[in-house]
Amino acid sequence: MKQALIGAALLALLTPLLAQADQFQATGGIFNGSDYGSSYLGAGGNAPLSNQALGQVVDGGNCAFDAFGFYNAGTDGLSQNRQVELLSGNVYRFFDTFTNTGSSRVTTTLNFFGNLGSDGDELVSVNGAGLIVSCTDDGAGSCTGQPVLALVSGNNGLGQAAITPDRYNVRYTVSLDPGQSLSLLNFAFLASDLNGPTAEDQALAAATGAQLLNAPRLEGLSAQQVAGIANYTVSPVPEPASGLLALAGLGLLGLTRRRPR
């Protein structure tokens, strides 16, 4: 909770300064099997003809990615379903559910992968548990060209993330009994002024990444989906009915306290 408050406070402090610069708009680039758009919902794996990974992001705007956001080492017999979206504010969300459809327990390492547009010229400003912030350096000693990336892989230690020249990898070691499922949630945030990335964009990426790390964006996901997330510790999402009952209870409590004796 303390980390979430710190992240929110940092973003609140930085927002007035960062808002002075107009941010570019990410372009989608999510591969759906035959075209590119702002979302993908369906099975994992590769498209039969092109052999491209379903749900991967290509480009994303200003050549941020060559091909980002897919599992490149196989799933060891686990079935995979993907929900990939470009949310508001240049945030890509990758929600993947894996199910053991076999008859015996499966223990495997799943690898979430990204081929970065920086092509080996990375300037990494944050490399911590669950959050990496990187941009293209091109030998300039500062961010140039492509957007600054905040790459978020979870807040409970399950994901082991690493950035190497031109590559981003997150390893998740999981065990599933027959019929059991779990979900993995990853984010990529892109920050850049219309005229190219600045030091303020680095700060914005770090602040937004910290916020996603401690309070992941879950809009559009069901309570069942949220409950299955394995790489985040998140507060349960109340059902609409329970929320209304809670509000009604608070209202009755207030009336009781105001009732004259």
Contact 85, 39 (CB under 8 A): yes
DSSP code for 241: H
- Asked whether residue 7 carries a pLDDT value surpassing 70, the answer given is no
More confident residue, 79 or 249: 79
Give the CB-side neighbour count of residue 109, counting CA atoms within 13 A.
Answer: 9
Average pLDDT over residues 202-227: 98
d(CA 206, CA 222): 28
- Asked whether residue 1 carries a pLDDT value surpassing 60, the answer given is no
Average pLDDT over residues 67-90: 97
The pLDDT of residue 241 is 52
H or E segment to which residue 187 belongs: strand 181-191
Confidence of residue 230 (pLDDT cuts 50, 70, 90): very high
Q: What is the mean pLDDT of the chain?
A: 88
The structure tokens 């999510």 sit at 30
Residue 68 φ then ψ, to 5° = -130, 140
Report pTM.
0.84
Residues of 90-129 as b/e, b for ≥16 C-beta within 10 angstroms? bbbbbbbbbbbeeeeebebebbbbbbbbbeebbbebeeee
Average pLDDT over residues 156-184: 98
Query: How far is CA 232 from each of CA 78, 175, 228, rounded to the nearest angstrom?
Result: 20, 16, 10
Q: Which of 220, 207, 188 is nearest to 65 (CA)?
A: 188
What tokens appear for 113 in the block?
């992968």
Range with the lowest mean pLDDT among 16-25, 76-85, 97-106, 177-186?
16-25
- Asked whether residue 20 carries a pLDDT value surpassing 70, the answer given is no
- Asked whether residue 117 carries a pLDDT value surpassing 50, the answer given is yes
